[in-house]
């Protein structure tokens, strides 16, 4: 949301721990809740652009799970991990439809459901993972078309990479909110400039990493800055210190050096989430 007046619908690709913008649309809309028809064109365009990548998974927050999106995903052959709201009705775990919030497992436990029906009509069948992790404020309810497992939670958690992208776009790197533009069309065009800069800065940072030059701009023993920040620092050095402008590399499919700002952050990242009990239940149609 921009100034509580414009809503930017964003579709990104997760790469090396961060999200890279792919498609977007700006609406003059006072809420972050938008109808499926508003973002259907983005999904159709993404399906065409990714047509040679059959193993595509859509990650989305609970505001996007609805009948229309589920039907589109099934017709498109995309995998999905979607979070659902606590008041969604489920068919299968009990004799009668029951809300998700009535099935929350106790703290430190997870429940895996196969073949549950969604909403009042129970039309869409999928798999469901419910988890209540100690130390978190909310339990998670994640639906997927793949076999339910703890891996489902890890896959959905990749969606949070877009939060860093929003921060970089709005204030961390490009100050989108300071533009003071009050036009949806103009904001879309302005964000094209920001998206190209984001992509170029990220690929420049990856080139710095591949050339073994990272510590010239990131003094951590191991990588402590994102590839975007590394790239931006290197580009400043090109302008002010006479550094060589490196040839951008394609987005790396695997991160050679994960980013940790501190030893504590690394320990927290690799700290395993333990469940005292994990149940698996198959529901009848």
Q: DSSP states of 182-242 as a string?
A: --HHHHHHHHHHHHHHHHHHHHHHHHHHHTT-GGGT--SSS--S-HHHHHHHHHHHHHHT-
Residue listed under structure tokens 């990131």: 218
What are the tokens at 210? 């591949």
Residues 36-75 as b/e (b if ≥16 CB within 10 A, e otherwise) read eeebeebbeebeeeeeeeeebbbbbeeebbbeebbebbee
Beta-carbon contacts of 9 under 8 Å, excluding residues fewer than 6 positions away, are 24, 25, 26, 27, 34, 38, 39, 42
At residue 147 the predicted structure's pLDDT band, cuts being 50, 70 and 90, is very high
pLDDT score at 270: 65
pTM: 0.85
Q: DSSP states of 32-72 as a string?
A: S---HHHHHHHHHHHHHHTTT----EEEE-TTS--HHHHHH
Residue listed under structure tokens 């414009």: 6
List, for residues 191-225, the tens digit of each pLDDT value: 999 999 999 999 999 999 999 999 999 888 888 88
Q: Residue 139's closest CA among 109, 118, 99?
A: 109
pLDDT score at 43: 94
Q: Which helix (H) or strand (E) holds 154?
A: helix 150-157
Whether the pLDDT of residue 127 is over 80: the answer is yes
**Structure-model confidence comparison of residues 83 and 223, the more confident one:** 83
Does the CA dihedral 218-162-106-285 come out positive or negative?
negative
pLDDT score at 196: 92
Cα Rg of the chain (Å, integer): 21
Whether the pLDDT of residue 61 is over 80: the answer is yes
Domain ranges in the chain? 6-161+276-282
* Residues 113/281, Cβ–Cβ less than 8 Å: yes
How far apart are the C-alpha atoms of 226 and 198, rounded to whole Å?
12
Distances (CA, A) of 30 to 41, 86, 191: 20, 24, 19
């Amino acid at each position: 949301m921009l100034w509580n007046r414009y809503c930017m619908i964003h579709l990104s690709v997760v790469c090396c721990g961060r999200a890279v913008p792919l498609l977007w649309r700006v609406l003059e809309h006072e809420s972050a809740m938008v109808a499926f028809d508003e973002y259907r064109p983005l999904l159709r365009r993404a399906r065409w652009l990714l047509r040679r990548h059959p193993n595509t998974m859509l990650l989305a927050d609970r505001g996007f799970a609805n009948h229309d999106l589920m039907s589109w995903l099934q017709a498109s052959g995309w995998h999905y991990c979607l979070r659902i709201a606590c008041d969604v009705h489920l068919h299968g775990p009990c004799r009668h439809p029951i809300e998700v919030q009535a099935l929350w497992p106790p703290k430190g436990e997870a429940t895996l459901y196969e073949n549950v029906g969604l909403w009042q009509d129970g039309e869409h069948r999928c798999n469901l993972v419910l988890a209540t992790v100690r130390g978190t404020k909310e339990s998670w309810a994640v639906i997927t078309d793949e076999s339910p497992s703890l891996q489902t939670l890890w896959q959905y958690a990749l969606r949070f990479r877009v939060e860093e992208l929003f921060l970089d776009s709005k204030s961390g790197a490009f100050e989108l909110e300071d533009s003071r533009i009050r036009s949806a069309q103009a904001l879309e065009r302005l964000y094209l400039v920001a998206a190209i800069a984001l992509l170029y800065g990220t690929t420049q940072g990856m080139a710095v990493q591949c050339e073994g030059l990272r510590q010239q701009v990131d003094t951590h023993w191991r990588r402590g800055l994102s590839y975007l920040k590394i790239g931006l620092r290197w580009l400043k050095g090109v302008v002010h210190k006479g550094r060589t402008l490196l040839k951008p590399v394609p987005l790396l499919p695997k991160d050679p050096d994960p980013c940790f700002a501190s030893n504590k952050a690394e320990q927290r990242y690799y700290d395993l989430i333990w469940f005292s009990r994990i149940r698996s239940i198959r529901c009848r149609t």
